Amino acid sequence: MPPAARTYDRATGPPRPEELTRIMLRPLASSLPLGFFAFGIGSILLAAAQLHWVPLEQTRPLMLLVLVFVVPLQLLSGVFAFLSRDGGAACGLSVLGCTWAGTALVTLSGPVGQRSAAMAVFLLAVAPLMLVLCAAALPGKPLFGVLLLIGAGRFVLTGAYEAGGAAALQTAAGWVGVALAVFALYGGFALLLEDSLQRTVLPLGRRGRARTSLQGDLGHQLERAEREAGVRRQL
């Protein structure tokens, strides 16, 4: 740095970092509607297999559709949630995307209709993680938290069936998946309207910073920005 640039008024002292630093942010559209819609389609595809709405031999095409349609959109929404500085939503969407991928690949790799102990362990291990993500989401975004909570319940039902439980568990998981699809459709539509109109149209239950992020001014958006990941020195 040239000597002239290092000089400052001795009476006032050196300039504060806030006076020299500019944080550049790129406006992004919300990725939550895409995540909700992808989750809803995945729930219906899996429910169609669990409730035997399609012949057993059509399970593989359903799982291929999950891999081609649901997984990329879910992971894409997770990536853009990270870029939008929403770590909670980003973690939830990314975990869901990878869970869909794991479920589809295990189903495709084994005999059609056969139970999988590996799948049972995987789903029963993911369910507590979903509950943790739900607990983190509920204080600000209860709609997303409820989606994660119901999803965790479905993972438990499916995991218990894959571990050797009664066939009724699979049926129950399928109908929970139908309810999840309807819930995800509502949530995605409500969030899409909110993002398009820049105001809440359908009830979403936003609270705390999630509410002020939409209803507050620019000062609310930039509050504590220096402490956010990507700005602070360490994660």
Q: Over the stretch 8-31, which tens digit does the pLDDT of each residue have?
A: 455 566 666 655 566 666 777 788
The CATH number assigned to the domain with range 32-211 reads: 1.25.40.600
* 130 contact partners, CB below 8 Å, separation of at least 6: 92, 95, 148, 149, 151, 152, 155
pLDDT number for residue 142: 87
pLDDT number for residue 2: 44
Please count the helices (runs of H) and the strands (runs of E) in the chain: 11, 0
Task: Say which residue the tokens 């709405």 belong to.
Answer: 53
- The full DSSP string for 157-199 is HHHHHHTT--HHHHHHHHHHHHHHHHHHHHHHHHHHHHHHHTS
Is residue 153 a contact partner of residue 108, using CB atoms and an 8 Å limit? no
Q: Which segments of the chain have a pLDDT < 70?
A: 1-25, 206-235
- Amino acid sitting at position 192: L
Helix (H, G, I), strand (E, B) or coil at 223: coil
pLDDT number for residue 5: 46
* 68 contact partners, CB below 8 Å, separation of at least 6: none
Q: What is the pTM of this model?
A: 0.80
Tokens of 184: 């995800």
H-helix or E-strand containing 49?
helix 32-50
Helix (H, G, I), strand (E, B) or coil at 102: helix
Tallying the residues shown for the chain, one arrives at 235
* 106 contact partners, CB below 8 Å, separation of at least 6: 116, 118, 119, 122
- Mark 148-179 as b/e (b = at least 16 C-beta within 10 Å): bbbbbbbbbbbbbbbbebeeebbebbbebbbe
Is residue 107 a contact partner of residue 55, using CB atoms and an 8 Å limit? no
